[in-house]
Amino acid sequence: MVKPRICLPRPLTCFVLAITLAFSLSVRAEDRSPDVAIAAAQGPVAQNGMVVAQEARAAHIGVDILQQGGNAVDAAVAVGFALAVSYPRAGNIGGGGFMVIHLADGTDTAIDYRETAPAAINAKSFLDAQGNADPQKSRFSALGIGVPGTVAGLALAEKEYGSGRFTLADLVAPAIAMARDGITLDDDITNEQTNILARLAHWPASAKIFLKPDGSVLAAGDRLMQTDLADTLQSVARDGPDAFYQGPIAWKIAAAVQAAGGVMTVDDLKDYHAIERTPVRGSYRGYDVVSMPPPSSGGVELLEMLNILEGYDLAHDDETQTLFLMIEAMKRAYADRALFLGDPETVKVPVTKLVSKSYAADLRAGIDPEHATPARAIRAGGDSDPEGHNTTHFSIVDRFGNAVSNTYTLNFSYGVGLVADGTGILLNNELDDFAAKPEAPNAYGLIGFEANEPGPGKRPVSSMTPTIVLKDGKPFLVTGSPGGSRITTAVLQVIVNVIDRGMSIADAVAAPRVHNQWQPDQVFAEPAAPADVIAALQARGDKVVQQRPFTSAESILITPEGFIGAADPRSHGALAVGY
């Protein structure tokens, strides 16, 4: 592999400092350049291509593909397969996700490779005998496993939008090598394994890969060998996605799910297909914002929030006012998510209305700029139990003018924890993202109604928000994040921090974030949010709870000086690498 010239690992020790300093370091309004792109002086800068991912080996693999003449889609496919090996808690071929692509010719498109519910899933699948939502079924049992979409999605992206210089096999090859040769673990991965030890230990097929023979987690410095996964990836490399969805791999997946009490069949796998969709698109202060349409809620909510905020001047130093208004916008967008969002193949989502400027103006009229709106005044609710480090995002740009924003997931860290024996494939628990019952919260405290009820072949609503912001039709900002329900608000804050608050991309990503999702009626603030701002929000009526950070917005700003990568300091292993 050719060594990239620019590389910025972010050690854990930098994290607290970066977060703590972010508010004070942010560029003050009066100091800002009129061109926000010029404000971005921090972070690695590269002229030819940039990859920002949550795990360094995968980021290097992506930039290596770019250096070999690949485009951003080639690199994204290689990174997607690589993370399935090097970042198994969220990188995957046993889950699903979304890829938003901007092509140099001006085309924008989106690949939906969200998991689908098996044909035997119905509206009652995740209820107990009393008819109440049963989180045990949707989160911790094989019933919650959706038909994986990642292999189909990455293969579709490569076939349609790859440069043609590489075969799928070329792009899977680095992942195969890592799986077969093993990778040396760092404390980031092993700490996470400690957190979810019970889920991995529950399944012998998983324990034999991810745990030591005595049942303890692998330690930093140990090697993680994934030879079954290498064989699976080798089959995909040789025979394409059919090797995954038909034949011995599919048989093993279906057998493992059924043996664990789930209902997925080989026909469910055979019937899976990734879908190319038209992205949702809006404008914000003269920039175009391109993001993921349903079944993600992310793009619709993001545009709804930006449209609301566009009616206010946020280019000032009043942190409280900016955060307060963002929180008010969040409440309204998440209430609409709950009511309207669902799989567009089965419900009519009123996207045009939700992302319209006139609807935003109506919502804005209901905002009191000095007093928090209680959730009950918007709609009825649930509670919250956020999961930790799950899902993963990477952003890629190339020298040809293409950009890729990709977020994919197993839902929880390591998904349901079950490896389909003999395949090395960790399986998701994505079906918890359905509304098991109207108003029953999912693991992120998100509630939903009939639009997102479980059903055969359906895709559960997601929060993943891979986003590309364009300026004069060209990529300006590529961003996205993991973090369950907090994904969309993290993306919102990165965009507002850059465009309105004039921060460098590094500061925009590092700045402490707040989050509100309508229900529960609480504002979650990261520990580094300034005490005076929190007190001021509380004085206006918001109930603020401080919680550990768990989003990680790997981002790239495109400036006249080059591509500036921002690896989120919240993720110890994240890397921005360019050439």
**Residue 144's CB: how many other CB atoms inside 10 A?**
31
Whichever of 452 and 462 has its CB closer to ligand GLY, that residue is: 462
Residue number, nearest CB to ligand GLY:
462
Instruction: Identify whether the C-beta of residue 416 lies closer than 8 Å to the C-beta of residue 144.
Output: yes
Does the protein bind ligand GLY through residue 433 (CB under 6 A)?
A: yes
Please say which residue, 163 or 462, places its beta carbon nearer to ligand GLY: 462
* Stretch of residues binding ligand GLY (CB under 6 A), selected from 116-124, 189-197, 462-470, 512-520: 462-470
Cα separation, 508 vs 221, in Å, equals 33
Query: Does residue 392 belong to the site contacting ligand GLY (CB under 6 A)?
Result: no
291 binds ligand GLY (CB under 6 A): no
Site size toward ligand GLY, by CB under 6 A:
9
Active-site annotation holds for 278: no
Positive or negative torsion for Cα 480, 485, 490, 496: positive
Q: Does 504 bind ligand GLY (CB under 6 A)?
A: no
Report the nearest approach of ligand GLY to the CB of residue 255 (Å): 25
> Could you give the CA distance from residue 94 to residue 91 in angstroms, rounded to a whole number?
9
Residue 13 and residue 18: Cα distance in Å, rounded?
Answer: 9
Stretch in the footprint of ligand GLY (CB under 6 A) among 71-79, 153-161, 334-342, 460-468: 460-468
Of the residues 299, 382, 484, 520, which one makes contact with ligand GLY according to CB under 6 A: 484
Contacts from 13-21 at CB under 8 Å and sequence distance 24+? 14/569, 15/569, 15/570, 15/572, 16/528, 18/510, 18/569, 19/510, 19/512, 19/526, 19/527, 19/528, 19/549, 19/569, 19/570, 20/528
Nearer to ligand GLY, 162 or 484 (CB): 484
Q: Which of 150, 265, 373, 391 is catalytic?
A: 391
Token pair 């040789």 is found at 238
- Candidates 206, 409, 489, 519; binder of ligand GLY (CB under 6 A) is 409
Under rule CB under 6 A, residue 417 binds ligand GLY:
no
Q: How many residues does the chain have?
A: 579
In this structure, how many other beta carbons lie within 10 angstroms of the beta carbon of residue 514?
25
Provide the minimum distance between the beta carbon of 409 and ligand GLY in the complex, in angstroms, as a whole number. Answer: 5
Backbone φ and ψ for 3, nearest 5 degrees, come out as: -75, 120
Residue with smaller CB distance to ligand GLY, 236 or 341: 341
Task: Determine which residue in the list 265, 411, 497, 516 makes contact with ligand GLY, applying CB under 6 A.
Answer: 411
* Whether 52 contacts 393, CB under 8 Å: no
- Is residue 452 within the footprint of ligand GLY (CB under 6 A)? no
> Which C-beta is closer to ligand GLY: that of 134 or that of 432?
432
Residues 51, 61: Cα–Cα separation, whole Å: 9
Name the residue nearer to ligand GLY (CB basis): 291 or 409: 409
Q: Applying CB under 6 A, which of residues 403, 464, 503, 514 lies at the interface with ligand GLY? A: 464
Binding segment for ligand GLY (CB under 6 A), chosen from 315-323, 344-352, 457-465, 540-548, is: 457-465
Residue type, 365: A
Nearer to ligand GLY, 312 or 444 (CB): 444
d(CA 385, CA 43): 34
Q: If phi over 0 gives left and psi between -120 and 50 gives alpha, with beta otherwise, what is residue 518?
A: left
| Residues marked as catalytic | 391
Residues that bind ligand GLY (CB under 6 A): 391, 409, 411, 430, 433, 462-464, 484
